[in-house]
Amino acid sequence: MSGITLWGRLSSCNVQKVVWALEELELPYEHIPVGGQHGGNRTADYLALNPNGLVPTLRDRGLVVWESHAIVRYLGAEFGSGLIYPTEPRARAPVDEWTDWTATTFQPAWIGLFWNLVRTPEAERDGAAIAKSLAAAVRCFELIEDRLGQAPYLGGAEFSYADIVAGVSLYRWTTMDVERPASPNVAAWHARLNERAAFRKAVNVPYADLVGRLAF
Ligand SMILES: N[C@@H](CCC(=O)N[C@@H](CS)C(=O)NCC(=O)O)C(=O)O
Residue in 6, 42, 55, 110 to alter for ligand 1 test, most ligand atoms within 8 A of Cβ: 55
- Backbone phi, then psi, for 195, in 5-degree steps? -75, -15
pTM of full prediction above 0.85: yes
Top-level CATH class of 4-79? alpha beta
Q: pLDDT-derived band of residue 1, with 50, 70 and 90 as boundaries? A: very low
147, 154 contact by CB (below 8 A): yes
pLDDT above 90 for 2: no
Residue 39 CA, closest ligand 1 atom number: 17
pLDDT digits (tens, 9 = 90+) for 67-83: 999 999 999 999 999 99
Q: How far is CA 88 from CA 74, 93, 141, 170, in A?
A: 16, 9, 28, 28
CA of 203 relative to ligand 1 center, distance in Å: 16
Tell me if 4-79 shares its fold with 89-202.
no
CA of 45 relative to ligand 1 center, distance in Å: 17
Please return the burial class of 81, using the count of CB atoms within 10 Å of its CB with bins 0-12, 13-18 and 19+: exposed
What is the per-residue pLDDT for 92? 97
CATH of span 89-202: 1.20.1050.10
d(CA 42, CA 65): 17
For the chain, domain boundaries: 4-79, 89-202
The mean pLDDT of 119-142, rounded to a whole number, is 97
The mean pLDDT of 48-63, rounded to a whole number, is 98
What is the per-residue pLDDT for 123? 97
Closest Cα to residue 37, out of 20, 12, 15, 13? 12
β-pair partners for 64 = 59
CA of 114 relative to ligand 1 center, distance in Å: 14
Q: Is 153 helix (H, G, I), strand (E, B) or coil?
A: strand
d(CA 180, CA 174): 8
Residue in 12, 68, 161 to alter for ligand 1 test, most ligand atoms within 8 A of Cβ: 12
pLDDT digits (tens, 9 = 90+) for 154-193: 999 999 999 999 999 999 999 999 999 999 999 999 999 9
pLDDT digits (tens, 9 = 90+) for 83-126: 999 999 999 999 999 999 999 999 999 999 999 999 999 999 99
d(CA 122, CA 116): 9
